[in-house]
Chains A and B, each alone.
Chain A
Amino acid sequence: MAANCVQKVLFELEGVFIHPSSDEDGIEPDLLVSGTLRIVDKEAEVFVEYRPLEEAVDPSNMLCAGKDSSSVMEWDQCSGEKSKSLIETQQSYETEWDMINAVSFKKKTFTNGDGCVNPSQERSRWAFSVSVGELRCVTLKVEGWSFLLLTLKEARSQLPTLHFHQGGSTQFLDSLRRVTLLSPSPEDETCLLVSTPNRALSQSFENLLDDNNFGLVNQKFRKDPYVTTLGGFSKVTNYIFDAFRGTEEQHQRPPEEVADLLSEVIPGLEINQQEEPGFEVITRMDLGPRPEVSRRPPLSAEDWTKHQDPEGRMTSISKLKKLIFKGGLCHAVRKEAWKFLLGYFPWDSTLEQRKVLQRDKTLRDYRSLIEKDVNRTDRTNRFYEGMDNPGLVLLHDILMTYCMYDFDLGESTELLLLGGMSDLLSPILYVMENEVDAFWCFVSFMDQMHQNFEEQMQGMKTQLIQLSTLLRLLDLTFWNYLESQDSGYLYFCFRWLLIRFKRELSFQDVLRLWEVMWTGLPCQNFHLLVCCSILDSEKQKIMEENYGFNEILKHINELSMKLDVEEILQKAEGISQQIQSCKDLPPSISSILGLEPDLCGSDPTHSGASPPLRPRPPLRRPDTRTSTSTSTSNGLLRASSAHNGCTVAFSS
């Protein structure tokens, strides 16, 4: 195997010195050892290595704090066709990175586990090779020149201080940063704590963040060759899946590292420890007991009309919203009430105004949209073929119209059918029983949701981070457990967030949950507390059964259709009260939940009497497409029969 051991040198600097005398007694005072410092990627692990210049170092004598490095990285050693495609993708970084021919390093390879310190070997006593994962911290001092002290996690041996008489310490640290996280220690600024991120997850996150290309070669790869090297990658995936297979010890990672990890992979969204000392506070905060709250029965049609004045304006709106928040709506009220909740109808509009509004929408806006040519791909056309369910045809017509309305989503028809958007529309269509109203309500709903579906999925990133922040506040123990299973960034909540629990709850329960959320009560981002509420109920099971990465995902996936919406809402409201009654909330939490100190306790959305009129925005880009055809085959012109009731049956 040794001959196949492939290494990549990520950093190399000659002229790094060791001053043996200052490290150890009994050495000539003036002895300076000059040598080469390298950061080397060996198959799956990254090592910091130092080798004195003059001496041919026998690696078996090195201090190798790392684990096994004897296995083979297939890709690099293959020649010919075998791994051609992969080699192709790697060529571009070969020029960027000084990849030293592995031959010069091969010699004897380390054997598993036993190739450690051998202090009797004098000639190579200053050489060392230490896995980055074994480093606790790196301390940089400047006294005339820079010198670095590498501290190991296990103090079985002290590494010599490295003196950068000829500069290069910054470059070394920069290179080290590419393979690990360095964060200043709170006690000592010169001391950088080393943490080894889980690269699979960060990679995955990065993909979520900035990777929309199909195929293996993409810009990110070029930007950061390191993370794309297979060696680096295999390590991470090992990390995850070994955990699954039960061969990996559990890694406990302190939350601050995760914050770093998150902030590294999500620039601009970081949970900044420096600016928000709240992070530390969060971890120790005592929230106090969670109040028991009770739910109420749904608002009846009678109650709804009681809240209308003779002209049809809604009255005492904040009270009304509160009732809806506490109990939801009877189904009979939904068709009308949802239009208010979603902002299609202004709360203080009269019946007359609403009629005009609806007619205008129908005749002008929607018509102008649907008369545009809809560019359907073959695939989409086939989707309609043999479609016997009129509700489904309608659903897709609306989605397609929406995509013309909101060009931000891109023009690919795949997006029309993008997983999730139909989930958001179907309950609305079901309640509205009318294409035009459903369309406008959907537009309003998408105003809140469309970030989730944008190219960059900004909404998803933000929500996952916010959720993680909240969970740490509410239940650090549980969050730490999840983190120990590489699940701290809560990827398994992705579907919950993307489509607001649409696939987790029964159809009727989805209607209830959504109308409650649309009241904007009791705080901003209440749906995140809904997540926390569900997680709180599953915590015990997950931890007791000691679920790992895959099992957590499976468990959460399998909650689908087994959750009780009233129970969830009750707990979520309790959580919101628990948080709101807390005195010194970290600013990060207050801002997620929109709890301004002075507004605390009051309706955070709008207070009472005059809710803001929210007229529909004008069509965003009504004329960017030339209408090449007004014949839209598959019934898009059904708008003219907009008031046809339509019975819609969905399989969800």
Chain B
Amino acid sequence: MISKSALLKVILLGDGGVGKSSLMNRYVTNKFDSHLFHTIGVEFLNKELDVDGHHATLQIWDTAGQERFRSLRTPFYRGSDCCLLTFSVDDGQSFRNLANWKKEFTYYADVKDPDNFPFVVLGNKLDVPERQVSGEDARQWCRENGGHPYFETSAKDATNVASAFEEAVRRILALDDRADHLIHNNTVDLQRKSHPDPSCC
């Protein structure tokens, strides 16, 4: 898809309640709701990004993590450019389920080359004091499962949220065969941490 504005599809997966919707809302609308209802099915929001003078649209797909809704989310995996595997650092089970999520994604998205597919792992709810998953455990898992980048985030106080999504973009663009997302330039400087204009589609 070569066009002026590349459309990058990023999908958030992880157990119910780990904070996927909160992360998306934080990133796109810069809001946080401490009592969100569980997502039913899938929802998506677009977020415009400027990358080295090129315009990209991030299409963020938020899915229902609860097992009951599996059949409603899996048809939408296909076509993803990056998958954000999310757990909550105060919930050991959600961390142990990462492997299942990755498997489910790889299967239903029908990823051609899973070894090189960009996954980014997010340990959310960093602000919660009682951790069940240490950063070291998480990093180790990422190392052993394909060298995925790992981010500890808090949707609540906005820690690292933008960086995580930006890393997703960076990973997508780093893939050689995706170079055509941006017309001339596939080295992207996304270090800018500032995040001044969240825009909702």
By a beta-carbon cutoff of 8 Å, the part of chain A in contact with chain B is 74, 82-83, 85-86, 200-201, 203-208, 211-212, 214-216, 230, 233-234, 237-238, 240-241, 244-245, 379, 382, 389, 392, 414-415, 417-420, 422-423, 457, 491-492, 494-495, 498-499, 503, 550, 553-554, 557, 650-652
Q: Tell whether A207 pairs with B74 under 8 Å between CB atoms, given A418-B66, A419-B37.
A: yes
What residues of A have a CB within 8 angstroms of the CB of B34 in the complex? 651
Interface string of B54-72 (1 = CB under 8 A from A): 0000000000101111111
For residue A84, give the distance in angstroms from its CB to the closest CB of chain B: 11
B78 A241 Cβ-Cβ under 8 A: yes
Q: Tell whether A237 pairs with B78 under 8 Å between CB atoms, given A204-B71, A419-B38.
A: yes
A215 B17 Cβ-Cβ under 8 A: no
B100 A215 Cβ-Cβ under 8 A: yes
What residues of A have a CB within 8 angstroms of the CB of B100 in the complex? 214-215
Among the 9-residue stretches B112-120, B164-172, B180-188, B190-198, the one with 4 or more Cβ atoms under 8 Å from chain A is B112-120
For residue B155, give the distance in angstroms from its CB to the closest CB of chain A: 15
Flag whether B199 is at the interface (Cβ < 8 A).
Answer: no
21 cross-chain CB contacts under 8 A: A86-B106, A200-B78, A203-B75, A204-B71, A205-B71, A208-B71, A211-B70, A211-B71, A214-B70, A215-B103, A216-B104, A233-B108, A234-B110, A237-B108, A237-B110, A415-B68, A419-B37, A492-B41, A494-B72, A550-B76, A651-B33
CA A420 – CA B72 in complex, angstroms?
Answer: 14
- Among A212, A214, A499, A651, contact of B40 (Cβ-Cβ < 8 Å): A499
CA A86 – CA B108 in complex, angstroms?
Answer: 12
Interface size grouping (class) on chain B: 35 or more
What residues of B have a CB within 8 angstroms of the CB of A498 in the complex? 40
CA A498 – CA B64 in complex, angstroms?
Answer: 14
B104 A237 Cβ-Cβ under 8 A: no
Q: Tell whether A417 pairs with B17 under 8 Å between CB atoms, given A85-B103, A212-B67, A214-B100.
A: yes
Q: Tell whether A245 pairs with B1 under 8 Å between CB atoms, given A212-B67, A419-B37, A419-B40.
A: yes
B107 A216 Cβ-Cβ under 8 A: yes
- Among A245, A422, A499, A652, contact of B79 (Cβ-Cβ < 8 Å): A245
Main secondary structure of the interface of A (DSSP, over half): helix
Flag whether B142 is at the interface (Cβ < 8 A).
Answer: no
In B77-101, which residues have CB < 8 Å from any A CB?
Answer: 77-79, 90-91, 93, 100
B40 A495 Cβ-Cβ under 8 A: yes
Flag whether B157 is at the interface (Cβ < 8 A).
Answer: no
Q: Tell whether A495 pairs with B41 under 8 Å between CB atoms, given A208-B71, A382-B90.
A: yes
B35 A392 Cβ-Cβ under 8 A: yes
Flag whether B179 is at the interface (Cβ < 8 A).
Answer: no
Q: Tell whether A207 pairs with B110 under 8 Å between CB atoms, given A85-B103, A420-B38, A651-B35.
A: no
What residues of B have a CB within 8 angstroms of the CB of A652 in the complex? 37
A554 B17 Cβ-Cβ under 8 A: no
A86 B75 Cβ-Cβ under 8 A: no
What residues of A have a CB within 8 angstroms of the CB of B37 in the complex? 419, 422-423, 503, 652
CA A253 – CA B164 in complex, angstroms?
Answer: 42
CA A417 – CA B38 in complex, angstroms?
Answer: 8
Flag whether B42 is at the interface (Cβ < 8 A).
Answer: yes
What residues of B have a CB within 8 angstroms of the CB of A417 in the complex? 16-17, 38
- Among B35, B64, B90, contact of A419 (Cβ-Cβ < 8 Å): B64
What residues of A have a CB within 8 angstroms of the CB of B41 in the complex? 491-492, 494-495
In B1-56, which residues have CB < 8 Å from any A CB?
Answer: 1, 16-17, 33-44
Interface string of B127-155 (1 = CB under 8 A from A): 00010000000000000000000000000
What residues of B have a CB within 8 angstroms of the CB of A419 in the complex? 16, 37-40, 64, 66, 68-69
What residues of A have a CB within 8 angstroms of the CB of B38 in the complex? 417-420
For residue B77, give the distance in angstroms from its CB to the closest CB of chain A: 8
A233 B103 Cβ-Cβ under 8 A: no
Chain A residue at minimum C-beta to C-beta distance from B35: A651
What residues of B have a CB within 8 angstroms of the CB of A203 in the complex? 75
Besides A204-B72, A207-B74, A419-B64, 17 other A-B contacts (C-beta < 8 A): A204-B71, A214-B100, A215-B103, A233-B110, A237-B78, A237-B108, A240-B75, A414-B66, A417-B38, A418-B68, A419-B37, A419-B38, A492-B41, A494-B40, A499-B40, A553-B42, A557-B44
